Every structure is written in structure tokens, then in C-alpha cells.
Structure 1
Amino acid sequence: MQDQSMVDGKKSIKKLITLSIFLLLIIALVVYLRLYDIKNVEKIVESYGKFAPFIFLILCIIRPIILLPIGLFSVLGGILFGTVKGTAYTVAGSTIGSIIAYYMARYWGREWVEGLLKGKLKKLDNKCKEKGFTITFLMRVIPILPCDVVSYICGLSDIGIFKYIAGTILGIIPGTFIYSNFGSSLHNIYSWQFVFSIIFLILLSVIPIVIKKFYNKDLTEEVGIEFENKKQQEKDM
């Protein structure tokens, strides 16, 4: 038992050291390139000319790791490449980045969460296995939590990778398209495209509230039916 605990302790220390080194490298990269300044990011991407899409894609991949807002990158994608290409590049990069974040959370945080919640995590895992796609999709579409926090939460749970990827792609496309369209429309704020982009942004903020309301209603009804069934079973006994 002691030998096993020593081995587990060494593994935990090793993971902590590698995580610390990784985070320090990421912080150094962000500070050196000033990735927190969206204007500077725009200059960096544009400076690469025909390779700009590739550089933008790389920045979108590392964006979830450094927790920069996906909305700003979506807008920047629209400014640089237009609505369609901006959406495609941002979705592709953000999806790859979210997969990396998913596995980061699973590697560095899963054991810690299991120890913290003890046996309670198994109940959560069963729900995640059954409704992994739905959970991921809803958390992406309904912006209750930041997009990248959702990636780490999903990595800590037992949501399957394929359900996670599908839910992520379909969940981030609507918001990414709207923000990219807004970015593209900034080239001419007197155009109908700009007017429609503002309308879409308003709808984007309203629709999730409506979805959340109806989803919670259905969930409440489902729980209520289950509760009534349990009461009836208790009476029969």
C-alpha cells in the first residue's frame, strides 16, 4: 500500500511540475507576442501575407489554452478573411484547441476531481456517457459559462471524445458565424450587412435565454414525472 501511494505521489508531483512548466511557457508566449491585445494579433496575422490564414488558425488553436475570448477572435476572423472563411478558420482552430483543452483537463485534473468528489463522480459520469452530445451542445450554445471553461469541464467528466467534438462543432458554429459576420461588416458600417449583423448579435443574446427556459421546463417536467412515479411505487409497496 505504501509503495503504491508513493508511486501515485510521484505521478502527481510529475504532473504538477509538467503543468507548471507548460503554463509558464504559455504565459511567456502571450506576454512576448502581446496576444492579449487584439489589435496586435491582427498585425501579427496580416504580417504573414499569404500565410495569414495558417497563422490565424494556429492562434485559434492555442486561444482556448490561454483563455482569450472566442468572440474577439471570431470578429477578427471576419475582419481579416470575411464571414465564411473567418467562420471556417475560427471553428476549425477553436475545435482543435478545445480538444487539446479537453485532454489537458483529463490528464492533469481527472484524478484530482475523483479524489475531491470521491464516489459522486460516477453518477455524473453515467449521465455524461448517456447525454454527452446534448450536454456539450447546450453548454456551447447557451453561454452560461465561458467557452473554454466548458472544454475543461467536459474533459474532467466522462463525456466521450466523439460526442464532445460533435457537440462542440455544432454548438460554436452559430455564434462564430454571427461574430465573424459582424467583423466583416465593420468594413462598411453603413451597409445592410452591418445592420443585419447587429440584429443577429441581439438574437444571439436572446435565443440562448429562450432555449434555456424551455430546456429547463422540459427537464423539470421530466424530473416531476419521475418523482411521481417513485411516489406511486412507494404507495404500491
Structure 2
Amino acid sequence: MTKTGNEDSIRVAVSAVTLTLRRESEEESPHIVLPLVRRTREPHLGDWALPGGWLDAQEGLEEAASRTLAETTGLAPSYLEQLYAFGAVDRSPTRTISVVYWALLPSDAVDRQIAAYRAAGHAPENVQWFEVADLPPLAFDHAQIIHYALWRLRNKVGYSRVAHGFLPPEFTLAELRDAYEAILQRRLDPANFRRQVEASGTLIPTDRFRTGSHRPARLYRYNTDVELADRGPLAPEETRTP
């Protein structure tokens, strides 16, 4: 193969679109938020960007995505899937291919992980959480990347249990419906939703109930024999054999 003279200048980066649900009060519906990092160097000095970093020659892509996300934000997602490889020639001043993952986390897990990160003497620097419907101007093509991640999420929710990535191990049907409504950006009829999810066979009722200001609501868990999402013929990287 004949070199064109610029192959050696191509670099590979990994980034993560990390999504969780947040509600301001019990009366309000939750909305999807994600962490962004303010850049401290050129290009795009001072702009917000997705957490990420360079791929190390000795690590796999998913390993790199997990590492850079943990180093930047202190987060370890319950769900991590490769989203897409973005490699437009003009996306960066230097030729960079970004392999982007998307991650889902329950809000309580976000709070625990950030608290543990701070307790260990670390602090996420230049990190701030934004609602996906109200993002600031972003560096590079990161707005396009986030838009694509949300499109994928809305498509997957119709044929997989991807909404489970936003929920704790046990949850009420109302909490599950809240997750679906946040993803789809529309209200769902509670009675129809209950019938559909109970008929799906993916939920297992427990003998426990959520108590509070309203009447007790039964807690459910997902049937763990059903995958979070269909990854196709490829297993997660850590379980593959050479």
C-alpha cells in the first residue's frame, strides 16, 4: 500500500456520552442530563466537550472508554456500548478519529460514585452536568455526537430493555414509565403502559413495596435472562476470546 504522507499523523481518541435521569422535585418529571468537561487548552479553549482522551496502545477501546470516563468524572457506568466512530477530515485541526461510547447510569449510582471519588481525594475538574435539551455551545462535532446518541437511545427503547440502565435493581412501574417518557419525550398512558410491560415477560414482581407520601407501590426487577440491549453477534470486549 502506498502511503499518502499523513497516515502517521492520525490519532485515535475515545469519548463517552454518559446519560442519567435527574428530577428537580418529586412533583416534576425527570429529564436526561449528561456531564461535560470544560477544555483547558486549544483548540476550543474554554468550550465544553464530552469526557474522553487518547487511546493507549496497550488497551482495548471499551477499556479506554471506561478509563477516561473514570479519570475525568469518577463515573463507572452500568451500561456501556460503542456508539459510532466519527472521523470526518475537518472535525479537528489534527487528523483525529473518535470512537464514541454511550453509557447509562441510575441517578443514585451517579451520586454514590461521585461521593466515593471525592472521598478518595479526587474531584472532577471542570465538570458540569447539563440537561440534553439545553446544552451550551460544544467543541468539535460533539453536539452532533450527542444528538446521534439520543437518537439511538430513542430507537433502542422500542425493542430492548435499555431503559433499565437508568434504574436501580428494583423499581416501580411509575419509575420505569418515567424513564420511558424521558427517553421518548412524550407522556404515556399509565394503564396501557402497565399492560404492555407486564405482558412483555421482562419484569419480575417482588414482594417489596415503595412507601412514601403516596400509597405503597410494588417493586419490580428485570428478568436478568434478557439482555439490556441486543449487541448482535459480538460479546462485550472483556468476554471475547482472541
Instruction: Answer yes or no: same fold by TM over 0.5.
Output: no
TM-score (ref. length: structure 2): 0.25
* Greater gyration radius: 1
Which of the two has greater strand per residue?
A: 2
